[in-house]
Amino acid sequence: MLRSAALTALLAACAPPPAEAPRSTPPPAALPPAEPATAPAPPAAAASPNSRDLAASPLPPQNAVAATPPAIPELAILDRPITYDAARREKTITYRQRHQDPAASDITIDPKMIVLHFTGGGSLEGTWRYFDRPTVERGRKIIARAGDLNVSAHFLVDRDGTIVRLMPETWMARHVVGLNHLAIGVENVGDAGRYPLTAAQRAANVALVRHLLARFPGITHLIGHHEYLAFEGHPYFQEREPDYRTRKADPGPAFMRAVRAELQDLPLAGPPDRPSAPPPRAP
Ligand SMILES: [Zn+2]
């Protein structure tokens, strides 16, 4: 299929696999303990059998449902952490100071958004190796100019729906301009051409979003990477460099429609209903 250079650039991978494979596979490392799952709230204090308040009127039945915390859906997640050593921490803090908050001093985020992506390739292994490098590749000029912290994500979803966690959800990954300080990134192995996203990936994304929302009730938004520019001007969007905007097409409106169709019962907003402010810079 013929494809123009411009289109190819537009559809460029979020994480193009490296041209060369690394000489060796890094040894498996234990994933640092993630933040504990939100503990279910204790049930409303039950009156003790000896309580003098036994005669007090109980909660009306309609309140009983609202008071029950949502169960955290069971989900198989493989932990395969990428390198997040002292150097990556330092690069992450430096990135935060430059782009989000000059006073930033740590890598911790309070998740308020989930951003879905596709990787731009067909190999989980290639993307894992790419993300494993703490330093961005120089060839990605717009991104490299904005800082040497490499891109990554919290999750990779393989084409068969296997979910792999690369880092704790409460650590910052660089995957979406302006929103990294509050967004969990989910990368799907695939692209808009040779490797279209699969039904198994759609189901895995739906299950993962449900799981994450139950663990992090502060999450308010679910978006596709291609929708992020609509947050320009929103309180969530914090990017100190007005010229640093990337143009993204992943994962595409069809995938987002399909995922959202199965999540209509969740209190998750999409992108703000407003035109994105400045036109994106040419790639
Ligand atoms: Zn992306």
How many whole angstroms separate alpha carbon 141 and alpha carbon 139? 5
**In a domain? residue 107:** yes
Mean pLDDT over 169-173 rounds to 98
Cβ neighbors of 169 (< 8 A, separation 6 or more) are: 34, 35, 111, 154, 184, 212, 215, 216
**By the 8 A CB rule, do 280 and 228 touch?**
no
**In a domain? residue 48:** no
H helices, E strands: number in the chain? 7, 6
- pLDDT bin (cut points 50, 70, 90) of residue 23 is very low
Expressed in angstroms and rounded, the spacing between residue 247 Cα and the centre of ligand 1 is 9
> What end-to-end distance do the CA atoms of the chain give, in Å?
21
Expressed in angstroms and rounded, the spacing between residue 83 Cα and the centre of ligand 1 is 20
**In a domain? residue 126:** yes
**In a domain? residue 279:** no
Expressed in angstroms and rounded, the spacing between residue 35 Cα and the centre of ligand 1 is 25
**In a domain? residue 221:** yes
Mean pLDDT over 86-113 rounds to 97
CATH of the domain at 139: 3.40.80.10
How many whole angstroms separate alpha carbon 226 and alpha carbon 165? 22
Expressed in angstroms and rounded, the spacing between residue 142 Cα and the centre of ligand 1 is 14
Expressed in angstroms and rounded, the spacing between residue 145 Cα and the centre of ligand 1 is 18
Expressed in angstroms and rounded, the spacing between residue 267 Cα and the centre of ligand 1 is 23
Expressed in angstroms and rounded, the spacing between residue 53 Cα and the centre of ligand 1 is 57
pLDDT at residue number 74: 84
**24-83 confidence digits (pLDDT tens):** 444 444 454 444 444 444 443 333 333 333 344 444 455 555 556 667 878 999 999 999
**In a domain? residue 92:** yes
**In a domain? residue 52:** no
How many whole angstroms separate alpha carbon 232 and alpha carbon 277? 6
Q: How many domains does the chain have?
A: 1
Expressed in angstroms and rounded, the spacing between residue 250 Cα and the centre of ligand 1 is 5
Expressed in angstroms and rounded, the spacing between residue 233 Cα and the centre of ligand 1 is 20
Element (H, E) at 65: helix 61-67
Expressed in angstroms and rounded, the spacing between residue 197 Cα and the centre of ligand 1 is 13
Expressed in angstroms and rounded, the spacing between residue 203 Cα and the centre of ligand 1 is 19
Distance of CA 200 to the CA centre of its chain: 18
pLDDT at residue number 147: 92
Whether pLDDT at 174 is above 60: yes
- pLDDT bin (cut points 50, 70, 90) of residue 138 is confident
Expressed in angstroms and rounded, the spacing between residue 249 Cα and the centre of ligand 1 is 8
Expressed in angstroms and rounded, the spacing between residue 119 Cα and the centre of ligand 1 is 7
The model's pTM is 0.76
Expressed in angstroms and rounded, the spacing between residue 30 Cα and the centre of ligand 1 is 26
How many whole angstroms separate alpha carbon 271 and alpha carbon 179? 12
How many whole angstroms separate alpha carbon 78 and alpha carbon 80? 6
Expressed in angstroms and rounded, the spacing between residue 48 Cα and the centre of ligand 1 is 54
Expressed in angstroms and rounded, the spacing between residue 165 Cα and the centre of ligand 1 is 17
**206-228 confidence digits (pLDDT tens):** 999 999 999 999 999 999 999 99
Expressed in angstroms and rounded, the spacing between residue 185 Cα and the centre of ligand 1 is 8
**In a domain? residue 282:** no
Task: Count Cβ atoms within 10 A of the Cβ of residue 141 and give its class: 0-12 exposed, 13-18 middle, 19 or more buried.
Answer: exposed
Phi, psi of 148 (to 5 degrees): -95, 5
Q: Domain containing 162: what range? A: 78-261
Expressed in angstroms and rounded, the spacing between residue 9 Cα and the centre of ligand 1 is 13
Expressed in angstroms and rounded, the spacing between residue 257 Cα and the centre of ligand 1 is 17
- pLDDT bin (cut points 50, 70, 90) of residue 259 is very high
pLDDT at residue number 114: 98
SS (H, E, C) 104-122: CCCCECCCCEEEEEECCCC
Tokens 């596979």 identify what position?
25
The encoded tokens of residue 261 equal: 């169709």
